[in-house]
Structure 1
Amino acid sequence: MTSSAAARNQHLDELRALMASHSPPIHALLIPSEDAHQSEYVSERDKRRQFISGFTGSAGLALITTKEALLWTDGRYFLQATNQLSDRWRLMRMGEDPPVEVWIADNLSAEAVIGIDSWCISVDSAQRYEQAFLKNNQTLFQLSSDLVDEVWKDRPPNDATPVIVHPVEFAGRSVAQKMKELREKLQHEKASGIIITALDEVAWLYNVRGNDVHYSPVVHSYAIVTLHGAFFYVDKRKVTTEVKNYMSESGIDIREYDMVQLDVSLLASGQLKGSAVNGSLHMEKDINVAEQSKIWIDSNSCCLALYSKLRPDQALMLQSPITLPKAVKNPMELTGLRKAHIRDGAAVVQYLAWLDNQMQENYGASGYFSEANGSQKKEHLEIKLTEVSVSDKLEAFRAEKEHFKGLSFPTISSVGPNAAIIHYSPEANTCAELDADKIYLCDSGAQYLDGTTDITRTVHFGKPSEHQKSCYTAGLERPHCPRCCCVS
């Protein structure tokens, strides 16, 4: 057993001890992948499920009972989870095994208490679980603190990287314009305010960016917008003078990140007051302000902790009014996206040409982009081309391009059978060396100020076999659905 596996086993034992000593005793603990904003990709300090299980995939849910440890994940990660989970864990395959709430209802005792960090579960998920647990009178219990954090002694600290103002020349629309349209939607739905929890939506609405989550230009923050006020909840250590002035000019009050729960309570009671805001609505005389009592939340992204501060009849649970306007790009954003993809495409072409040349010179490849030079593979390479070293070179080509801010997801640089692993992530110490006789797949992307990219190329630097050609052609014949961008 490796030292890391032994440590995780110890963490499991410590976690079960905390569950047993809790009042009331916790019979099972749910550990989601998501953070307090229901993000798919989270910061290092929010990777609780990864910490406790050792499984590094982006999607999954862990369940710790008094005797078992189970992990649910989807088909993208079955192979990876099988390789990463220790023998103390059981892999539950989504689509094949029962969903977690069904498994709990069928396998745990009646009146069992299932603990959850209410910041890390959406309203939708919580209500679905509660409905399933009614079968055996089981209870979904909101913990006052996350038990995983108590056993995670070396949990990474909060970063204090500064908030960045996203210029209108890239955003295409000002905060005032966005706020005015948002308030018109609030008024139409007879809502007095909205709680915005999704990081990309806060970033889009306020035209800000950050570096709190790898590969996503977002900042850990919340927003509350009322008919006459707007609030930005963020670690104030991240607020520069530029951002402070920008928010002040936009009529947005900056509050400490941890104040959001208190302010939701004030919002629910009609006592949340803020500065006058650009785009605020002047209520018509015939509108009864008392009727504007609903608080808009998106139950798919709002966490249970904030929802619990509202009266059940007070929550207006609809899709976020930001989702659609964020997705429909304005002319300036469309121009930026085109420029970003042209710029990024140039970097990828540079990379593939460089790699083709390296494969010919050092590995005797017959050539993919250029005519073969007749070289043979060198017996003693000073520097080997590995999945990691070549992906680093690709990033270097991108870094030379205008407006580059980083990668948009971990580069999937994969040789031969590794290319069959969905969301494969090569590690420097274990990655494969490139081979002129094997297929090479590179799935990568970048964040630029004017757009987000994602491009995949599958190449062969030698002479592909008939079987390889057949498989490649079959892949091309199937439909391809690209990822959606983050906040660009």
Structure 2
Amino acid sequence: MTSSSAARNQHLDELRALMASHSPPIHALLIPSEDAHQSEYVSERDKRRQFISGFTGSAGKWLALITTKEALLWTDGRYFLQATNQLSDRWRLMRMGEDPPVEVWIADNLSAEAVIGIDSWCISVDSAQRYEQAFLKNNQTLFQLSSDLVDEVWKDRPPNDATPVIVHPVEFAGRSVAQKMKELREKLQHEKASGIIITALDEVAWLYNVRGNDVHYSPVVHSYAIVTLHGAFFYVDKRKVTTEVKNYMSESGIDIREYDMVQLDVSLLASGQLKGSAVNGSLHMEKDINVAEQSKIWIDSNSCCLALYSKLRPDQALMLQSPITLPKAVKNPMELTGLRKAHIRDGAAVVQYLAWLDNQMQENYGASGYFSEANGSQKKEHLEIKLTEVSVSDKLEAFRAEKEHFKGLSFPTISSVGPNAAIIHYSPEANTCAELDADKIYLCDSGAQYLDGTTDITRTVHFGKPSEHQKSCYTAVLKGHIALDAAVFPNGTTGESFFQCSYDVNSCAFSRNLCICIALCRQSFCRENYQNIAKV
């Protein structure tokens, strides 16, 4: 047993001791992957599921369940192999799509009247209500903990760094905060809502035109926003607020509050007592509408956490998709121009990289290259520089770093050789990664954050002579991409039909963001969303 496995086993024992001593006793503890903003990608200090289980899969909302006798982890088919390798023998892998969902498993396997603990900041309203409905079967209770028990056993939890908030220039955003707020308030009026609680990090960043460095690869800042018909609030660690940001928010009519004040202010909002500076353009709106009649508070139940929802009366919450989702997805002309420029620069960096790599493979590994007809490869016996999955991905980052407006990578580069290329979301490590091989396929899935756009490019290449089977598979996927690119979506096409289409071509579609997140804006294309694609 490794030292890390032994430490995690000790953490499990400590966690169960806390569960047993809790009042009331906790029979099972849910540990989601999400943070307080229901983010798919979280900061190091919010990786509680990873800390307790050792499973490092990142792209998905997986969760762990700790009972008095078992430890279970739910993930999907992309990570079955990785989870099998990373989980200790004290853990049981639950295969999503094959095993029961966590709420069904709990209802069927735990005793009647069992108490299931949850950090109410790390679970969405939708998930909590789904769990509570399932637990009715055996009169089980979803209990909101006053503190996260995992944090109590995580003695070396990373600190909360005070990285500064950054104002995102309107020359890249394309629209001012005033314009966005005006449209948002019009939507509040239309739904007869007096305010909205915005919890998703990318939505706060988009609405207020700010960025940050609180989450690796996603330039967002840990923050909340509350917007009413007469005020706007930005909840953030004030250590991150520079003089520039303070002046910017003041000019935009936005009150800056401490991050931890959001729960209290939601209570004040619910009682009609939340007061702030008047926002330009809002006072005349109040003359046209009786604010007292605006009793609803808008939340997106898919992203709003249970902790904040609990401060509202059930009849007070207007649970609709966030009104920011679609405006954020529909790019304005300036954003579209920026995206095109960012992709041109990024594409140039990738071409530079592939040309460099092709040359290195020919010189050092005897590869035939793209244009040579050599029958095989001949690796040099004594390589001065050994090419590995990690070393070549570092070279790709260096090419990108030379480009204008480069801010960093948009996700960890998936640089993979041979069998590793078949592992979805493979993450190479310097000590264990593979060396490049001229006779094997090389897949590189990578992207970058630029001030004017976010990119994600996948390229699959072979530096030697691919087999007939490899050629056939590659060509089939290429034909699918070409067909999808040429497709014209008729009016009424929904996310469901696009989802089916993407599976038909073995492809995956992402909606691009403007220097925010690479995978947080897929709403218009996922099967749960029936938004008309034709409108986007």
| TM, length-normalised to structure 1 | 0.96
**Cα gap change, 1:66/1:59 in structure 2, threshold over 3 Å: closer, same or farther?**
farther
Task: Tell me the C-alpha RMSD between the 2 structures.
Answer: 1.6
CA distance in 1, matches of 2:305, 2:281: 28
- The separation in 2 between residues aligned to 1:390 and 1:110, in whole angstroms, is 55
Per the alignment, do residues 401 and 59 of structure 1 end up closer, same or farther by CA in structure 2, a change over 3 Å counting? closer
For residue 469 of structure 1, give the secondary structure of its aligned residue in structure 2: helix
Distance in structure 1 (CA, Å) of the matches to 2:112 and 2:193? 40
1:486 aligned residue:
517
Distance between the aligned counterparts of 2:326 and 2:17, measured in 1?
46
Q: Secondary structure at the match of 2:38?
A: coil
How far apart, CA to CA, are the structure 1 residues paired with 2:212 and 2:379? Answer: 45
Q: Do the aligned partners of 1:45 and 1:155 also contact (CA within 8 Å) in 2?
A: yes
- Counterpart position of 1:480: none
Q: Provide the secondary structure at the position in 2 that maps to 1:244.
A: helix
Superposition pairs of residues 288-303 of structure 1, within 5 angstroms? 288-303=290-305
Measure, in 1, the Cα distance between the counterparts of 2:143 and 2:228: 31
Look up the SS of the partner of 2:466 in the other structure: coil
Check the 8 A contact 2:376/2:464 in 1, yes or no.
no
The offset of 1:485, in angstroms, is 6.9
Structure 1 pair 339/369, CA: closer, same or farther in 2 (3 Å)? Answer: farther
Q: Deviations over 1:164-188 (max 9, x none)?
A: 0000000000000000000011011
Deviations 1:298-345 (A, max 9, x none): 000000000000011110000000000000000000000000000000
CA contact (8 A) 2:263 2:308 kept: yes
SS at match of 2:459: strand
Q: Deviations over 1:37-62 (max 9, x none)?
A: 00000000000000000000125610
1:284 & 1:130 partners in 2: Cα distance? 39
SS at match of 2:81: helix
Residue in 1 that maps onto 2:498:
none
Displacement of 1:288 in angstroms is 2.5
Question: In the superposition, relative to structure 1, how do residues 372 and 347 fare at CA in structure 2: closer, same or farther (>3 Å)?
Answer: farther
- The CA distance in 1 between the partners of 2:477 and 2:388, in whole Å, is 25
Distance 1:370 1:274, change over 3 A: farther
User: 2:30·2:66 contact (CA, 8 Å) conserved in 1?
Assistant: yes
Unmatched segments (≥5 aa) in structure 2: 480-514, 519-536
Q: How far apart are residue 362 of structure 1 and its match?
A: 0.5
Residue 45 of structure 1 corresponds to: 45
| Alpha-carbon separation, structure 1, partners of 2:466 and 2:30 | 47
Q: In the aligned structure 1, how far is the partner of 2:32 from the partner of 2:198? A: 20
Question: Quick check: 2:377–2:439 contact (8 Å CA) kept in 1?
Answer: no
2:333 and 2:253 map into 1 onto residues whose CA distance is 26
Is the Cα contact below 8 Å between 1:364 and 1:377 reproduced in 2? yes
Deviating more after overlay: 272-281 vs 332-341: 272-281
1:361, 1:376 within 8 Å by CA — same for their partners in 2? no
Closer/same/farther in 2, CA of residues 245 and 419 from structure 1, 3 Å limit:
same
Task: Give the structure 2 partner of residue 405 of structure 1.
Answer: 407
Relative distance call for 1:248 and 1:485 in structure 2 (3 A) is closer
Please, which runs of 5 or more residues in structure 1 have no aligned partner? 478-483
* 1:293 Cα offset (Å): 1.2
Aligned partners of 1:356 and 1:370 also within 8 Å: no
Give the conservation status (yes or no) of the 8 Å contact 1:356–1:369: no
Are the aligned partners of 2:375 and 2:465 in contact in 1 as well (CA < 8 Å)?
Answer: no
More displaced, 168-177 or 78-87?
A: 78-87
CA contact (8 A) 2:18 2:149 kept: yes
> 1:247/1:362 Cα in 2 relative to 1: closer, same or farther (>3 Å)?
same
Task: Please tell me whether the aligned partners of residues 218 and 516 of structure 2 are also in contact (alpha carbons under 8 angstroms).
Answer: no
In the aligned structure 1, how far is the partner of 2:129 from the partner of 2:286?
A: 37
Could you tell me how far 1:284 is from its partner in structure 2? 5.6
Match of 1:184 in 2: 186
Compare 76-85 and 329-338 and name the one that shifted more.
Answer: 76-85
1:309 to 1:226, Cα distance in 2 relative to 1, 3 A: same
Equivalent residues of 2:300, 2:322 under 8 A apart: yes
The alpha-carbon deviation at position 473 of structure 1 amounts to 2.3
Q: 1:286 to 1:170 in 2, by over 3 A?
A: closer
Contact 1:64/1:70, CA 8 A, preserved across alignment: yes
Question: How many positions carry a matched residue from both structures?
Answer: 481
The alpha carbon displacement at 1:280 in A equals 1.8
Q: Distance in 1 between matches of 2:312 and 2:42?
A: 26
- Distance change in 2, residues 1:6/1:305 (3 Å): same
